[in-house]
Amino acid sequence: MLHIPYFLKTKPLLEIFSAIFLTLSLYGAPVRADNLEQLRASGAIGESYSGYVIARNPNAQAQANAINTQRKAIYQEKATAQRVGVDQVGKVYAIEIFKKLPTGTWFQKENGRWVRK
């Protein structure tokens, strides 16, 4: 079970979460989303508690970097608008993405341990 820190349960951060998903749906590239799903399914990339992906296979590092660059830009935009830290936005997103990950997807917990959903 994923532990949700109290500060992530506040109303402003829930508003950030809603805005993140709206932004991702407006700006997300379908090809990249398909590629991300394939990378997750193969285990080459896993999701992290921080809201960013981690390359579990060195051959997927470039893809992980590209995905994280896109996510960081979105997180920064939302963090600035809500006057909160980028890390907080990432963690809100991570909680929601964890809920929606398909069974078998790798997820890195805050303690660094990898688990399969």
**Residue ranges of domains in the chain:** 10-116
Q: Cα(53)–Cα(68) distance, rounded to whole angstroms?
A: 7
Q: Which of 104, 91, 106 is nearest to 52 (CA)?
A: 91
Mean pLDDT of the chain: 82
The confidence band for 31, taking pLDDT boundaries of 50, 70 and 90, is very low
More confident residue, 23 or 60: 60
CB 53 within 8 A of CB 42: no
Q: Cα(57)–Cα(44) distance, rounded to whole angstroms?
A: 5
Helix orientation angle between 86-100 and 11-27, rounded to the nearest 10 degrees: 70
Q: Which of 49, 17, 55 is nearest to 36 (CA)?
A: 55
Side-chain-side CA neighbours of residue 25 (13 Å): 6
Q: What is the pLDDT of residue 10?
A: 56
At 108, list the tokens. 């890195």
pTM, two decimals, is 0.72
Contacts of 33 (CB under 8 A, 6+ apart): none
